[in-house]
Every structure is written in structure tokens, then in C-alpha cells.
Amino acid sequence: MKDLIFKNIDTFMIRTPVLSVDNYLRFFDQKLTEGEMKERLLEICHNPVFRESILVASKSLYNKMIDFCNGKEIKKYDYFIKAIYKYLIRISTRPTPFGLFAGVDFGEYTDENTSIRYGTNKYKKFARPDLEWLMKIVKKLEQEQYEQLWFTVNDSIFLKGERAYLLHSTRKDDDKRVNEISVRVTLPFKITCELARHLIHYQTLKKELIKQFPNTSEEKIERFLKQLIENEFLISNLRPPLTVMDQLDYLIKRLKESHIEEWSNELIDIQQKIRTYTMTPLGEGEQIYKELHKKMKKLADTKNVLQVDMKLNLQEKKLNKQVIKDVNELMHILLPFSMTYQQTDSPLSRYKQEFIEKYGVDREVPLLEMLDNDLGIGAPMDYTNPK
């Protein structure tokens, strides 16, 4: 009996494109004249579902679409058509799991007959702030409202010799000139780290340091703490854990606890607008998305401010167990032809070999030590921009 490539875990994921394949076939009819092709292009650019999907995926292409619909001349017209072509493929033939191009849901394998049936509303949007945008807000608050916040020592600190290093910091993302962030391990730094092992209010931390160093001015201690906060050796309680489902709500609650009402009110307004947008039917959220995007950009200007995904609203979602057996049979035929399947010299494989050469097998190594270029083996070759 052949080994199972795919194991039945009683759960499957289904992903379907938003538009039917007919939209693709109509657009790429080889018999169309240039004039008819332009009419079809106008037709797809006026499609409210396609427009909203492009708005979420590419604001620049959306703006070109609006210009095209308004009769304006489009520079690099061929590139414009190719861009529409690529996105039309994503939304009508290849279910790309990004934005509003496809819906996703989970179902279960069963002994019953296969049954996939939609509910009344076929799709449900799911939107939340982009983490890059959220972290820029947090950084701004940490630098402007630090006196009202609670702080703890960053557990990513790595000690090497007489210096403390941060292997990763948002400062590296914001400023590409910053290659390494470190600070001397002085007595004030050691005491600060000890005091901030658990969350401590900024004012309490400052008072404790003033007690420890009575000959140092309060202004100098404040500068020292602000430098640690700016370089992220100290991080605030505003930073949402990755395990939190609603990170914006987490941030709002922490701001309320610290009585930073101006910011909490701004974010509550954004939270309500996000909820309103998610309730709009697909193809009817264009205007509110633009208003929301503009407001969020005003608070923090990042490349992406909002992440939008879509769920399929399935009433019945069952697949017969025979399907997984058929898929395994097919994979046994197809996988030997796959280059990826045969490839053994991947960056991760080479990294594994480097690890074994340095540390041997069956050995636990501190992660921060392993990632250090001097003490360890550094990050994998293709791991260039962790976020």
C-alpha cells in the first residue's frame, strides 16, 4: 500500500474566486476588435465588485481605472491592460487568497455525500488594521505619551560582552541606515532591566532610578529612559500580543486604562468604521473604504493600513472521505514531476546542515544565540526582512 501524502485530519479548506470564469472568457475573446475590446475593458472597470477588489489590492491601479472610466487618456495603456488581465485571472479563474479576490471557508470530511451549499449572503468581509500601521501608532504613543504608560524590558535583548543588542527592532524597518541597535551594559541599564522585569509604570520606574542614583539629575534619568524607549529596549503595555485576536481593541483598552482619551476616541471611531465596512455587501463598500483609508493614513502613514480578507458563507460544507483517497492517488502520479518535490538544496536545507555542523544533533540552543552572526550561525540566507 502506498504511503499517504495527504493525511485525513477530518477538515478541509475551500477557496473559490469571486467572479465566474465567464468574465475571463468574455474579456479575452480572440475575435474582439480593438473597439469591442475597449468596451469590454470599460465593462469590467465599471463592475462594482471588481472595482472594490482592486481598491483594496492596488490603490494606484484603482485610480487609473477611475481615470479610464472617466474618459481620460491612460499612459502606458498596454501595462494598464496587463494589470487588469492579471487581477481578472485572480478574481475569476485562480482563487488568490488575498483581499476580496476569493472567499475561504472550512468544512469536514464525512461518510455522507459531498454537499457544498451557500447561504443567503455568499461572502462575508473580514477587515482589521495592518500590523505595520498599528505598530507605527504604538511607537508614536510610546514616544509622545510615555509618562502615562507601563513598560517592561524587551525579551529580545541579547547580551554579548559589555553590550546589549536587539536582533530585531522596528527602527530597522523605519530607517534602513540602522544596521544594529545596541547599548552599553552599564549599572543603570542593569538596574532598569531588573526593575522592569515585570510591567512597571514609567513614573514609578523613574522614581526608583532617582532613588538608586541620587547624584544624577532627574533630567538625565529621563533622557536615559527615553533613549531606551526609543530604541525599544523598553517596550510598553500598548504592544498587542500576536495571540490576541482583535489587536486594535486591545490597544484601545490599554489607552483607556492610561486615560489617553484623545487617541482612544480616534481609534474607537476607526474601529466603528471598520465594522461598518465589513457589514457592507461585496461591491458596495467602495466609498466607505476610501474614507476609512484616508482617516487611517492621516493618523499613521504606512504603505498598508488595512488588511481585508473574505469568508465564504457556506450553509453546507461536506466532502465525502473518498475525495482524500483520490487526491492521494493523484499526488503519487504528479509529485515526481515537481521540481520542488525533488529539490534538496533549499536555503532551509542548507541552514539545517549548518546547524548540525556547528551544534550537532539532539541539542537545544538559545534562539537569540543561534541567530547571532558571531556566536551562532546567523539567520537563514533568504531571511532578509523579518517583520
Q: 324 near 8, Cβ under 8 Å?
A: yes
pLDDT of residue 387: 46
pLDDT of residue 287: 96
In degrees rounded to 5, what are phi and psi of residue 17? -70, 155
pLDDT of residue 26: 81
290 Cβ partners below 8 Å, 6+ apart? 55
The C-alpha atoms of residue 314 and residue 322 are separated, in whole angstroms, by: 21
Pairing, β 181-184 against β 163-166: antiparallel
Q: What is the pTM for the complete model shown?
A: 0.80
pLDDT of residue 66: 94
The C-alpha atoms of residue 158 and residue 376 are separated, in whole angstroms, by: 12
pLDDT tens string 307-352:
999 998 888 888 888 887 888 888 878 777 765 555 566 777 888 8
pLDDT tens string 188-227:
999 999 999 999 999 999 999 999 999 999 999 999 999 9
pLDDT of residue 13: 87
Q: 128 near 247, Cβ under 8 Å?
A: yes
The C-alpha atoms of residue 129 and residue 137 are separated, in whole angstroms, by: 11
DSSP-based three-state secondary structure for 14: strand
The C-alpha atoms of residue 205 and residue 235 are separated, in whole angstroms, by: 13
The C-alpha atoms of residue 299 and residue 302 are separated, in whole angstroms, by: 10
Q: Which three cell numbers stand for residue 46?
A: 465599471
Q: 368 near 159, Cβ under 8 Å?
A: no
The C-alpha atoms of residue 303 and residue 57 are separated, in whole angstroms, by: 12
Of 82, 134, 103, the closest CA to residue 13 belongs to 103
The C-alpha atoms of residue 105 and residue 114 are separated, in whole angstroms, by: 15
Pairing, β 163-166 against β 306-320: unpaired
- State how far Cα 326 lies from the chain centre: 35
The C-alpha atoms of residue 50 and residue 54 are separated, in whole angstroms, by: 6
The dihedral built from the CA positions of residue 336, 337, 343 and 347, taken in this order, carries a sign that is negative
Beta strands in the chain (DSSP E): 11-17, 102-110, 115-129, 150-153, 157-160, 163-166, 181-184, 200-201, 234-236, 306-320
- In the predicted model, residues of the chain with pLDDT beneath 50 are 1, 387
